[in-house]
Amino acid sequence: MTFEEMRDRIANGQGFIAALDQSGGSTPKALRGYGVEDNEWNGDDEMFGMIHEMRQRIIEAPCFGNGKVIGAILFEKTMEGESGGKSVPARLAERGIVPFLKVDKGLEEERDGVQLMKPNPGLEAMCARAKELGVFGTKMRSVIKSANPKGIRENVRQQFADGVRILTSGLVPILEPEYDITAADRAEGEKILLDELIAGLDTLHDDQQVIFKLSIPKEAGLYSDLIKHPKVLRVVALSGGYSTDEACSELAKNPGMIASFSRGLLQDLRKQQDDGEFDGTLSGAIDQIHAASVS
């Protein structure tokens, strides 16, 4: 796929984006969920080796290339690895799946009801390497924990500031200011977030587009104006701690918003499954998430 073909696939594809980007801190938990205990690996190299084997198995599963997965978000080590004898981004593109790269460096401590992203001085170099490998876009996550207007404004400002750095590097950013779904004031805070996101879009040039990855809103249809905005390529939803069933049920209430699930996609996969059982389990999750994304 060319870059423009990838853009069209993300803008118009009838499917969802798989999140395969668990990084250092979340990798042990992801491995335990996959049926790999902590005593089965020793040190970061073995840990990342095992998570890469899991991701290779997903990428190479017959159902993963059935057209329902239109994109995949990768951790840097996964991007630099191989699958099917090719670089992971090249193999994904070969299967009709647009590659993205997680580029944030983790979260700061909470302040003003939010967790901002840590500074990222090497962002441009990482984007250049990703572009060299055929990656289309990036993803970076920050967190909102309460309806604090000051914190939400700063959270969104940081997302757009780094987003412009990514756009200038020739990639398309996924901006992910996640709203904690357990927050008691989420309905109020998400309306503040929406206003700040629209204000952020006003700062972009007319030829610039971003993707938003957001918690499924408390108020169904809240993000419909974002979905239609000319500077928004797509609005995707994170599962945010919901089970697959819960996330799909909530997502289906928001037409035009598609999934970008991690836990919701992977929760029933196990290392101990044979290839047929693994593909069948993954296929069931893909079908369910796809149906919620195109409803």
Q: 68, 77, 102, 213: which is the annotated catalytic residue? A: 213
Instruction: Give dist(CA 155, CA 174) in Å, integer.
Output: 14
Q: What DSSP assignment string belongs to 64-79?
A: GGSSSEEEEEE-HHHH
SS3 222: coil
Burial of 109 from C-beta contacts in 10 A (0-12 / 13-18 / 19+):
exposed
Tell me whether residue 271 is one of the annotated catalytic residues: no
Q: 68, 77, 145, 176: which is the annotated catalytic residue? A: 176
SS3 124: helix
SS3 36: coil
Instruction: Give dist(CA 278, CA 211) in Å, integer.
Output: 31
Tell me whether residue 176 is one of the annotated catalytic residues: yes
SS3 212: strand
Contact 116, 161 (CB under 8 A): no
Best CA proximity match to 19, nearest among 219, 229, 176, 134? 176
Q: Which residues form the catalytic set?
A: 176, 213
